[in-house]
Structures are given as structure tokens and as C-alpha cells.
Structure 1
């Protein structure tokens, strides 16, 4: 059979087909991930805690060492510090708008000054816009206008919002900005604080406390809801989290 085939090839009756290498079978996803060749894009990033190993690690320090060194609340807070990514929008908006208003800068001038590249804190939203308004802001606005003695800073911020939305529809006065300026109006005009006291509360970051309070209520609500629904503790998939913790550190 081989000799007949070779004879036919030599006569040109048969033209041998080109040898094609077999397709490569892709590496298994789990195995490739274990080898560190691929990674799944992470939805979350954490730089303060890692619960993947035998014990919890906070900022590079195992929880057993936290107990051994008797670090106390202050030390634990130091490990879990959120730094600049912790809230801040309410506080920054209150300070930025207050400074501009107290300086006598008109809204248009305030907006133009921010063309230097700095963001106007409390302005802008990824989803909501002048065509798709945030109903939380509208509800708060109705309540504040009804119950607050005066709202000069809020009125100023709303004028700024009119200017910014004329440039881009989503540059609205967002809910953080609204709460920030309304809080300043409340402190300054409720009659319970002097102007110096009101300014001091803003300077020391009282609004960040409001930020923490709201999220604390949310945590409590989620916990009670899970218990009510008899759900187990939710664990987010590790491969969806990017861990960027520091190495072991001393506090």
C-alpha cells in the first residue's frame, strides 16, 4: 500500500495535504490562575484587611498580634484607617462652598475659578443629571426649605448647580453636596450656636461623623435583614478582590 501511494505521489496523481498541527488545548482556568498566569478583573480593592489565610490580617498585622500587644481601640483604629478615601465629600463640600460664599465670590466666579483643574466637591453624579434628577435631593430640598429658618448657603450652591448643569447635564448639586451646605445653614441659622461655634464644628469634620452614622445604620440594617431572612454570612469571592496590603508593620 505504501509503495502504491508513493508511486501515485511521484506521478502527480495524489498531492499530499499539508500537515496541520493540532490545536492547542487551552489551559484550565483554575490551574492558570493558581500559577499566576491570569487573573480575574477585581471589583473590589482592599488595603486594610485580608481574611484568606489561617487568621485575619489587618494592615499586615495578624489579629493574634493585635491581641498580644494589647493595642487597644486607638491602635486598631490606626490599623484600619481609611485615610483619604474615607468619605469626605460632605465635609469638603461644606468647607468649599462656605469659603466661597463667605468671601463674597459670586457663583459664576466660583465656577470659573475651578476651571483650573480642581473639582467642585458636591457637584456631579455618574448616573443622575438634570434630565434624570436625584429624588433624594428634591425631598431634602423641600424639607429644608420648609423647616430651616434661612438657607443662604444652599441657595448659593443651587445657583452654582444651575451654572454647572448648563455646561454638562450631570454636574448637578449631588446629595452629598446638598447635605453639606444644608448642614452649614442649619448650624449658622438655628439659633443654638454662635457663628464661631458653627464654623468650628465644620472645621473639625463634624460632617464626617454624619457620614459614619449613616453607614453604621446601614450595617445594622443589613445584619438584621440577614438574620430575619435566615441567611448565612455573606463571603465575597476572593478572586473578585484585589488585596494590596502592606507587609507586616509596627504601630
Structure 2
């Protein structure tokens, strides 16, 4: 059997009518031409596409359906009846033995939408990202479970936000204030250091803010601002093992390792780093314990006996004092402290702080409309 579904407009269906009349089509034909509702409209109606347009009487759905019916096709009284007519025609052919019966097949169930199934608790789906520090699914974002409105209402500062997003807890005010002091003191150190120099050169090359910032950040490492974690690791290991300062320094020397947090290109015994002094002064006034800092000072005393510029730098000060913050606050286990140092939290503090200065240098160069930087020949030693 054949099933034909046509539509009003055009004359294609009449070719089937002629084929039925001439006996060219021997199979039973079930047909329906849609668009019978066109007569209900006062004007010409456009259906589905350009050809489905109610035009003359011969192109109407009613005329086509009647012509098909007169030619011998099985035409239902409405589109809704098409399904039952197809079924009746097929069953009649089976009864007459013209076609073999077709066994009924139970269609497979349509799979339930995954999101709907998850909501109903029927299935579990693996997550691709695990996040424990913030949640933005409610009416307002929460940092470590603290709503944004609470952060504002309680007057939390940048240090408090860092304590929530980095350490997943609200640290005492003296701790968060120390974090803020570190950020302020490390925000910039002039245009001559490697990070600022890179950002300045990149900005003067016409690059955008992000490119200039990243150019400066990529210089941070063991020789520039990236020794805070190493300083904390070595100071903690030496202190916890009970090494005397000279034993620690000489042991590092035998290994061929410079003591992280000790030594400066400019500062010396007679020209101490003011940032180090400010951090130590704050810690003495507010920290319950400064045992790691005092150990670092003893190490500095020994290294100064070797060379005048082997003073404690800001990396060593932050590294040792952060150990005192973590252990003295009573809010971290030994395992958590080791993990924080291993992951690189303390270097992250310098990266965050110095980003402020690098952005400032980028804006400064663009504001001054500085041209492309080219290093002067006289500052280069050309040699073979």
C-alpha cells in the first residue's frame, strides 16, 4: 500500500489522480491533502512554504481530496482519521492474503532527559569540576559559606576575602590585617625590578593590559619574588629539626643551595629593607608567637658574618612570619600547614600583590604615551 500526504496549492496531486484512473498504480492508496481550513479565512492564506498557498478552487485541499477519492484512493474525512484509515486498509490487505501479517513490536522507551532524572534522584552523573571555596547557585555568591551581603555588612576587607577563598575559614583580624600589609608592601618596588621592567617594555610595545601584566608576572620565580614558599619550607624544616642557624646555613652551602629569603641586590647590614622591618614590628605587636621569625633572624645574623648584603629580604620575612601566623593562630593542623606551603600559597600572596604594581606601570606608560622601548647600545657589552 501507499500513503500520500499532500497539501493545498499546486497540482502535483492530480498526477496521482491520473495514474490511478489509468491503472498505473495498482496498490491501495491512502491519501490526504492538508489545508482544508483555508476556506475559513476571508483572504488568501500562506501555509508552510511558498507552494502551500490557497489559490484557485482546483488547488484547494477539498478539490484535491475529492479528486483522489473519485479516482479510487482511500481518503479519510479529516486529518485526525488518517491514522485509523491507514490501519484499516493494512488490516484488510492482511485478511485478503495480499501481504503477510507483521508482528507487533514494542517500541523501546524514550530515554528520560538526564537533567530531569538527576533532579528526581533516579541517576547520578559524575561532575567535571569540584569546587569547595565558593558557591554562586543561590540568590548571592557565597565565599566559603559566607554570603556576599554578610561580607559587606561586617566590613570585611581584602584580607578577609583572601582568608575565605584561599584558606576556607575566617581568620582572626590580626591575621587578615597581616595579609593586607603584605599585599600593600609588595604591591610595587619601582620600575627597575625585572617584573616592572617587563611590563613597561610590553606596554610600550602597544600590547594590551593583560599581556603587559602577564609579561611581568612571568618573571616571578626563585630569583624574583618567588622564594617565599621555599624560605618557609627551609626555615620550617630547619627549626622543626632543631638545627642551629650555622648548621642550617652550612648544610645548605654543602648542598650548593642558596638560603631562600636571605640576600639582596641593594639592601645591606647598614641599609635594611624597610618592608622587612615593618612586617617584623607588626608581628611582635600582634602575633602570639614569632618563633620562626626569630629563627630566621638568627640565620640572618650568621649570614651577615659572611657578607654584608646577606640580609633578610621580604621573601624571608613573609615566609617566616606566615609560618608563625599558621602555627600561632591555632586554626591549622600540621598537615594543613605543610600542604599550604607545598601548594604555593605564599608565592600566591606576592603574585597577587605585585599585580597591583604591574597594572599601575602599564597604565602609567600608556597614559604617558611612551614610545617603543629600545635598549641603548652603550649599555650592551658586545663581545665574542
In the superposition, the TM-score normalised over structure 1's length comes to: 0.58
Taking a change above 3 Å as real, the CA distance of residues 130 and 122 of structure 1, as seen in their structure-2 partners, is same
Aligned to 2:369: 232
Question: What corresponds to 2:240 in structure 1?
Answer: 102
Give the number of equivalent residue pairs: 174
Q: How far apart, CA to CA, are the structure 2 residues paired with 1:83 and 1:109?
A: 26
Contact kept, 8 Å, 2:228 with 2:261, in 1: the verdict is: yes
Match of 2:251 among 106, 113, 138: 113
The aligned runs of 1:18-167 (5 Å cut-off) are: 87-116=225-254, 117-167=256-306
| Counterpart Cα distance in 1 of 2:356 and 2:317 | 20
State how far apart, in whole Å, the 1-side matches of 2:363 and 2:351 are: 18
Cα distance in 2, alignment partners of residues 164 and 235 from structure 1: 42
Q: CA deviation at 1:126?
A: 1.7
Pairing 1:166-181 to 2, within 5 Å after superposition: 166-181=305-320
Q: Deviations over 1:23-67 (max 9, x none)?
A: xxxxxxxxxxxxxxxxxxxx98999xx98xxx98xxxxxx9xxxx
1:186 aligns with 2:328: no
2:281 is paired with a residue of what secondary structure?
Answer: helix
Between stretches 140-149 and 83-92, larger displacement belongs to 83-92
TM-score by length of 2: 0.39
Aligned counterpart, 1:212:
351
Aligned match for 1:198, one of 304, 324, 337: 337
* Structure 1: distance between partners of 2:298 and 2:355: 33
Cα distance change, pair 152–224 in 1 and its aligned pair in 2 (3 A): same
Distance in 1, Cα, partners of 2:281 & 2:222: 32
Gaps of 5+ in 2: 1-192
2: CA distance, partners of 1:101 / 1:128: 26
**1: distance between equivalents of 2:285 and 2:220?**
36
Change (3 A) 1:128 1:105: same
Aligned 8 A contact 2:303 2:311 in 1: yes
Local SS of the residue matching 2:324 = helix
Q: Mean Cα displacement is larger for which, 170-179 or 233-242?
A: 233-242
Quote the offset at 1:164 in angstroms.
0.8
Question: Following TM superposition, by how much is the alpha carbon of 1:235 offset from its aligned partner in structure 2, in angstroms?
Answer: 3.4
Structural RMSD (CA): 3.7
User: Matched residues in 2 for 1:86 and 1:125: separation?
Assistant: 10
**Structure with greater Cα Rg:** 2
Alpha-carbon contact 2:225-2:350 (below 8 Å) kept: yes
The gaps in structure 1 that reach 5 residues or longer are 1-42, 57-62, 64-75, 243-251
